[in-house]
């Protein structure tokens, strides 16, 4: 089996050495080159044609954001960003993920993290996942055609949409929210696997791009139509019914599937809500988070509609594949059609 070939790009010689040593400790990985800035990195990438690139956000000469743009345009390669947990760092990292980076690693203590070995296992895991990921080429926005009918009927005046995503999710969420039609009328609850701090930056970025409001969810707030609520990093998100309204509950219950927030927790919570039309979507990501929740949704409300992102558009076809294996998925939909599909499921008179 051929090793996963890596180029490490970081302006700190110390960080280049530590990251190289950590990755090289796994016999599945070979660091074929390192680079001190984005310009140097582009040359190394073209020379070595690696399977994965680790890319620092802040660098002189050519920073990580500019380098990422060139990589995606010239020689599309799975990229993992390395970022500091600062307001600027989280914002740039979310932008990088939306612009094509596969995933990111948070440096524990700033640009030069002497304790970077704390995230050694995380870096290795993400590099292995990235090596198997697809670089989905950017395509212009386009409206999808008609959707196929399902056996479900639109029984209630209100619909609630729940979406779960992991690796590749921020870019997929951007596409979906931008594709929602102007007459879209429902609340959306979103679980995106991300650490604390990054979900706020993601919500702020998506809010600027989408026609509907996008915000990081707050404990105790009532959900409103035409608003998307993103679960904060390190909190599960649930729904609670109060009279005719529904409120958001954030909890620090133990992680599920290694995640907090977890898609299963959101879906299971939605399953318990009565007298609403329920639409759930599972997008790109590693693992099987969401599958248990799908089972409960269909058990308690067989008319729930479940969407799985199609394999050809998924960066990582793990979570959607696991969803399909439940045999409860109603529609398998290419990312370019998910937003339009959800709109029609919510708004179509006479049936969802």
Q: Which residues are catalytic?
A: 166, 193, 289
- Cα–Cα dist 3/127, whole Å: 12
CA of 205: how far to CAs of 92, 99, 128, 178, 315, in Å? Answer: 10, 12, 28, 12, 21
By three-state DSSP, how is residue 282 classified? strand
- Cα–Cα dist 10/36, whole Å: 5
- Give strand ranges (E) for 158-224: 159-165, 187-192, 213-216
Q: Report the relative pairing of strands 79-84 and 103-107 from DSSP bridges.
A: parallel
Region label for 4, one of left (φ > 0), alpha (ψ between -120 and 50) or beta (otherwise)? beta
* 244: its two tokens: 């005719």
By three-state DSSP, how is residue 206 classified? helix
């Amino acid at each position: 089996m051929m090793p996963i070939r890596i180029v490490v790009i970081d302006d700190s010689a110390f960080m280049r050495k530590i990251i190289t040593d950590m990755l090289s400790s796994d016999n599945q990985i070979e660091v074929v080159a390192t680079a001190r800035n984005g310009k140097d990195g582009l040359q190394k990438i073209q020379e070595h044609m690696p399977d994965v690139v680790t890319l620092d956000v802040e660098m002189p000469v050519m920073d990580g954001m500019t380098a990422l743009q060139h990589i995606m345009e010239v020689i599309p390669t799975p990229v993992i960003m390395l970022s500091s947990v600062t307001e600027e760092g989280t914002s740039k990292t979310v932008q990088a993920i939306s612009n094509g980076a596969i995933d990111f690693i948070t440096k524990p203590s700033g640009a030069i993290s002497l304790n970077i070995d704390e995230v050694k296992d995380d870096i290795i895991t993400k590099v292995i996942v990235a090596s198997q990921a697809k670089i989905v080429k950017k395509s212009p926005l386009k409206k999808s055609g008609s959707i196929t009918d399902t056996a479900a009927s639109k029984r209630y005046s209100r619909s609630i949409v729940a979406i779960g995503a992991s690796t590749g999710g921020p870019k997929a969420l951007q596409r979906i929210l931008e594709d929602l039609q102007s007459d879209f009328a429902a609340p959306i609850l979103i679980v995106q696997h991300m650490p604390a701090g990054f979900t706020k930056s993601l919500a702020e970025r998506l809010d600027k791009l989408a026609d509907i409001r996008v915000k990081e969810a707050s404990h105790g707030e009532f959900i409103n139509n035409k608003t998307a609520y993103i679960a904060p990093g390190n909190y599960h998100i649930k729904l609670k019914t109060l009279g005719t309204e529904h409120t958001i509950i954030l909890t620090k219950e133990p992680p599920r599937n290694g995640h907090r927030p977890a898609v299963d927790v959101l879906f299971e919570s939605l399953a318990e809500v009565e007298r609403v039309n329920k639409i759930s979507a599972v997008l790109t990501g590693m693992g099987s988070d969401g599958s248990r929740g799908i089972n409960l949704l269909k058990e308690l409300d067989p008319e729930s509609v479940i969407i799985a992102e199609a394999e050809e558009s998924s960066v990582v076809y793990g979570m959607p594949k696991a969803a399909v294996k439940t045999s409860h998925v109603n529609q398998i939909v290419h990312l370019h059609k998910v937003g339009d599909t959800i709109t029609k499921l919510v708004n179509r008179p006479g049936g969802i």
